[in-house]
Chains A and B, each alone.
Chain A
């Protein structure tokens, strides 16, 4: 555990030592801030319109109209930003030969992979923590459901974990960070749009696609429904890609 944390700390501090980390954080906050402002404006406008409705003011649910779309947009922003965060994890170490320090130290490949995974997740935790003030504003002005907020953050964290695990494996296959970025993004996009294909298929294919889709699992979570099967799905997904990364790193010793 000590080794995992040492590697995770180094990876986390590396994000703050390079422009990539700050750029990713700034871009993430800028875009989520834009969406939050737009959603709040839209919600206020619609609420005002509904209030003057001759048929009476219907209940505009804050969770449904604001919290869920906000996290839906955040998920898409993460889809674009996470590959930029993970692209360097192994690719840069291989290029600078720093990986040799890890491979010749008395630590296991599992510790290396988990350390890098946790380092990236630590940075994403910082990114997500920076969005808490938006939720604070909602609590100040309205009455969002705390359960929905908590499960939405859980969804973001699990989804980010899935994205990071895919980014790790693509980074382990190349020394070129740009190749790693493109590969990671393409893989994530494919897994993302897989859910859309469900509608145009039927039978077993639809079931398999529905099961594999990253988005389908997120919907319930952003509504405040935490199902064990959804959490297990993300954890299995992450474990699978971390295992693939582990195998790839082990293969360095034979190439």
Chain B
């Protein structure tokens, strides 16, 4: 459905993305991850036709995003990081206007459907600038959905929202996934990616560093941290002897960081118990892989 081949974007001497290639099959929901400035938004903007590329090719449903931009744009619903809203417009009028631009036959009816879909029916008559940030994000989603696109590209739909608003947007994204659309979702909330997406693409410093199913990503290596009341060489040796533990690092103050091959938390807990086990935590799998692949990207 979406095919990106050797895409490069340079701004003068600065390279935003370099030789980016990936594919998203029809109906798949993909998480697009990377630190700020890694090139996520640039890639998304190129796919949606609001930015040109220096080199490379991208197609949506077999149509080139540069030479057949009009047809590609008909198929894509895009929510940029900052929703493209007209603050002085009434919600209903704005979504209908977006529908008109996107070639919908009955923009008013389509706007009503999109507004209902994102749970905005009660505020449809209100002026956008009077809405909370969470609601404004929903209005942005409504404009992306108004023409019932096959592809949804969502750039950090939950950035800058408070926890309650984030949960609302996550629930909304859950619903959208059930529509069987092709979705590229960029977010820094890795828990959302794990909950919503089966596959992730990780980009760092303008290059793709990983692309796979979350289950297969990064092999079997995991990190477990334990806190014990009586640390020391004996504790380190006991933990190192656990099958599947490849490294133990004493981080001080009774905390030991273990690298394991697969999920060994039960065995680690048993080995740490004689030394007064206080705490055992394993980092979320995706977070661990993400940090490993992008470490050093942010100061």
- The distance in angstroms between the C-alpha atoms of A253 and B42, with both chains bound, is 11
The residue in chain B whose Cβ has the minimal distance to the Cβ of A252 is B50
Are A6 and B97 in touch, CB under 8 angstroms? Answer: yes
Question: A14-B86, A14-B88, A97-B80 given as contacts; is B73 within 8 A of A106 (CB)?
Answer: yes
Are A101 and B84 in touch, CB under 8 angstroms? Answer: yes
- Say if the beta carbon of A98 comes within 8 Å of chain B: yes
- Say if the beta carbon of A212 comes within 8 Å of chain B: no
Which residue among A17, A96, A105, A108 has the maximum number of chain B CB atoms within 10 Å of its CB?
A: A105
Are B101 and A105 in touch, CB under 8 angstroms? Answer: yes
Q: How many A-B residue pairs have CB under 8 A?
A: 71
Contact of A106 among B74, B83, B93 (CB under 8 A): B74
Contact of B52 among A99, A104, A254 (CB under 8 A): A254
Interface residues of A in 128-186 (CB under 8 A from B): none
Are A104 and B86 in touch, CB under 8 angstroms? Answer: no
Interface residues of A in 102-129 (CB under 8 A from B): 102-108
Which chain B residues border A252 with CB–CB below 8 Å? 50
- The distance in angstroms between the C-alpha atoms of A96 and B70, with both chains bound, is 24
Are B98 and A101 in touch, CB under 8 angstroms? Answer: yes
Residues of A within 8 A of B (CB): 2-3, 6-7, 10, 13-14, 17-18, 96-108, 252-255
Contact of B98 among A2, A13, A105 (CB under 8 A): A105
- The distance in angstroms between the C-alpha atoms of A97 and B82, with both chains bound, is 7
What does the 1/0 interface line of B140-151 toward A look like (CB < 8 Å)? 000100000000
The residue in chain B whose Cβ has the minimal distance to the Cβ of A14 is B88
- The distance in angstroms between the C-alpha atoms of A96 and B136, with both chains bound, is 13
Are A104 and B88 in touch, CB under 8 angstroms? Answer: no
Are A107 and B101 in touch, CB under 8 angstroms? Answer: yes
Are A101 and B100 in touch, CB under 8 angstroms? Answer: no
Which chain B residues border A253 with CB–CB below 8 Å? 49-52
